[in-house]
Amino acid sequence: QVTLRETGPALVKPTQTLTLTCTFSGFSLSSSGMCVSWVRQPPGKALEWLGRIDWDDDIYYSTSLKTRLTISKDTSGNQVVLAMTNVDPADTATYYCARATLDRPYHNMDVWGKGTTVTVSS
């Protein structure tokens, strides 16, 4: 059974760096065709795709956020980390990670975590 869980701080101050961890089980990010995506959703607003890390270490970012995002993986620990620098109240959102199966360029986000809510406020 594939599961994913997002963890991180519930409250972050403006200008700080937000670091979120996606811990997963039931699959290996070292296996061909696997990847993990990040998606967020501000309160009452639409989903926003943030980025993706692939089994072979290819990484892709949202065009609008790429200067602020870093996605990395810890294969041995079954974790993927999302770091977002210089956060702003507009980054207040629920952040989701999802397992995806990859057949470039498309990926199918077939299993989602429950999400973690982050508030950016001083």
Partner 1 sequence: QTVVTQEPSLSVSPGGTVTLTCGLTSGSVSTSEYPSWYQQTPGQAPRTLIYKTNSRSSGVPDRFSGSILGNKAALTITGAQADDDSHYYCMLYLGRGTWVFGGGTKLTVL
Nearer to partner 1, 63 or 67 (CB): 63
- Count other Cβ atoms within 10 Å, centred on residue 52: 22
One DSSP character per residue, 76-102 reads GGTEEEEEE-S--GGG-EEEEEEEEEE
Q: Cα separations (Å) of 34 from 27, 40, 67, 72, 115?
A: 8, 20, 25, 14, 20
What's the min distance (Å) between Cβ of 89 and partner 1?
21
- Residue 74 binding partner 1, by CB under 8 A: no
Stated length of the chain: 122
Best CA proximity match to 68, nearest among 100, 44, 98, 90? 90
Does the footprint of partner 1 cover residue 115 (CB under 8 A)? yes
CB of 53 to partner 1, least distance (A): 11
Question: Judged by CB under 8 A, does residue 60 bind partner 1?
Answer: yes
Could you say whether residue 16 binds partner 1 (CB under 8 A)? no
Using the contact rule CB under 8 A, the part of the chain among 16-24, 73-81, 84-92, 103-111 near partner 1 is: 103-111
Query: Is residue 33 near partner 1 by the rule CB under 8 A?
Result: no
- Binding residues (CB under 8 A) for partner 1: these are 39, 46-49, 52, 58, 60-63, 96, 105-106, 108-110, 112-115
